[in-house]
Amino acid sequence: MAKNGWTEERRRRQAEIIRQNKPWEKSTGPKTQAGKSRSKYNALKHGEYCAEWREVQEAVIALLKANREFLKLTNQLIHLEPRALGFPKARRKRTEERTIETIFDIKGL
């Protein structure tokens, strides 16, 4: 028996009843876009449905979307080769071979 008190037999029987009744085919809900946008706030309580709060939520969502786009572009730039951005090919500086003579400048001695 599971924690919730349902035996395996009860689970099988309930699953069969649900498959026969097919409640998902009879479900009703908003069909229009306006109804869907209204119903998405059904679970909100304590005045969070008020217009001011929705405006704040929508502003935050818009900001997050803009940041997501910015991060996508930034990520693309990071992974581009420098030449694709118009930078010249990096050149290595030639360095003299460092020997004891060049370090102490004792060539002429």
Let me know: does 102 contact 96? Beta carbons within 8 Å.
Answer: yes
On the question of pLDDT at 58 being above 70, the answer is yes
3-class state of residue 10 by DSSP: helix
Q: What is the pLDDT of residues 18-29, one digit of tens each?
A: 999 998 888 788
Domain boundaries, the chain: 47-84
In this predicted structure, what is the pLDDT of residue 93?
A: 59
**52, containing H or E segment:** helix 51-78
In this predicted structure, what is the pLDDT of residue 8?
A: 92
- DSSP summary character for residue 97: -
**Cα separations (Å) of 88 from 1, 74, 82, 84, 85?**
71, 20, 8, 9, 9
